[in-house]
Chains A and B, each alone.
Chain A
Amino acid sequence: AQTVTQSQPEMSVQEAETVTLSCTYDTSESNYYLFWYKQPPSRQMILVIRQEAYKQQNATENRFSVNFQKAAKSFSLKISDSQLGDTAMYFCARYNNNDMRFGAGTRLTVKP
C-alpha cells in the first residue's frame, strides 16, 4: 500500500518559537492532494492546511505554512510563533484516486 510517513513521533517547542513537522509520502499519481490535520487533546480533528499537488505555490494559513517538494514527495508543516493551543497530534494525509492515507502522527507539545 502506498504510504505516508511521519518520522517524528513526538516534538516539543517553546512558546513563540518556530517548529517544522516532517512528512513524506508515496504515490504513483501526478495529481493528488495533501493535508495536515490537527487533533487537540480530547477534541475533534480539524483541517490545518491543504495543498493541491499541481499547484507549485506552497499553501499558507496564518501561522501555518507548508514546504511542498513534489519531486522529493515531501510535505512539511511549519508552525510559526507557536502558541499553547497548538499542542496537539498532527496528522499528514494524502488523497488520490479514492485512496486516503494518513501518517502515524506527530505529538507536538508547546511549552510555556
Chain B
Amino acid sequence: DVKVTQSSRYLVKRTGEKVFLECVQDMDHENMFWYRQDPGLGLRLIYFSYDVKMKEKGDIPEGYSVSREKKERFSLILESASTNQTSMYLCASTPDGGGYNEQFFGPGTRLTVL
C-alpha cells in the first residue's frame, strides 16, 4: 500500500512564525502536491513538484514556499505565518504521468495561526 505521511495532525502557531509542514511518501512517486482545504472552497493547489529540486506554483502560492531535496520528501514552508493561513493542509503524491493518475493523500495537517 502507498503510504503518505505528514509530520503533524494538528499544529498551533503564532502570527509571524516560520512554519514547516513535512510530507513523506514511501512508493517512489515522481510527483508530489500541497493543497489547502477550506470549507466551501474545496482543495486548492499551492505548489507541486514533478522531480527532486523541481517545483511549480499552483493557484495560491503567495505566502508559501516548498522544498524537495529528496524524492520521498516534500516540505511546505510558511515564511511568516498569518491568520489567513489557518487551514487544513493536504499532501498528495502520484507516480510518473502527472495528475491523470490517482492521487494518494496524506492524513492532513490542521494548522491554526493565532
List chain A positions with a Cβ less than 8 A from chain B: 1, 4, 6, 9, 33, 35, 37, 43-47, 50, 52, 91, 93, 95, 98-100, 102-105
Task: Give Cα distance in the complex from A35 to B103, angstroms.
Answer: 10
Given A44-B107, A45-B105, CB of A104 within 8 Å of CB of B90 = no
Q: How far is the CA of A78 from the CA of B43 in the complex (A)?
A: 22
| Contact between chains at B59 and A1 (CB < 8 Å) | yes
Q: Which residues of B contact A33 (CB under 8 A)?
A: 99-100
The answer to whether residues A104 and B107 also contact, given A1-B59, A50-B102, A95-B100 and a CB cut-off of 8 A, is: no
Instruction: Give the residues from 87 to 114 in chain B that come closer than 8 angstroms, CB to CB, to chain A.
Output: 90, 98-100, 102-103, 105-108
B106 & A47 in contact (Cβ 8 Å cutoff): no
Cβ-defined contact, A100 with B105, below 8 A = no
| Chain A min CB distance to B50 (Å) | 9
B12 part of interface (Cβ distance < 8 Å): no
Are A91 and B42 neighbours in the complex by a CB distance under 8 Å? yes
B42 touches A100 (CB 8 A): no
In the bound complex, residues from chain B placing their C-beta under 8 Å from that of A95 are 98-100
**Hey, which chain B residues are within 8 Å of A93, CB to CB?**
43
Chain A residues positioned under 8 Å from B59 (CB to CB): 1
B33's closest neighbor in chain A, by CB? A100
Interface size for chain B: under 10, 10 to 19, 20 to 34, or 35 or more residues? 20 to 34
- A6 to B106: give the CA distance in the assembly, Å: 23
- CB-CB under 8 A from A46, the residues of chain B are 105
A47 touches B45 (CB 8 A): no
- B43 lies within 8 A of A91 (CB): yes
| Given contact pairs A1-B59, A33-B99, A98-B98, A44 touches B106 in the complex (Cβ within 8 A) | yes
Residue pair A47, B103 in contact (C-beta under 8 Å)? yes
Which chain B residues border A99 with CB–CB below 8 Å? Answer: 99
User: How far, in angstroms, from A104 to B98 measured CA to CA in the complex?
Assistant: 22
Q: Contact: A100 with B45, CB < 8 Å?
A: yes
What A residues does B43 contact at CB under 8 A? 91, 93, 102
A6 to B39, CA, bound (A): 13
Distance in Å from the Cβ of A25 to the closest Cβ of chain B? 12
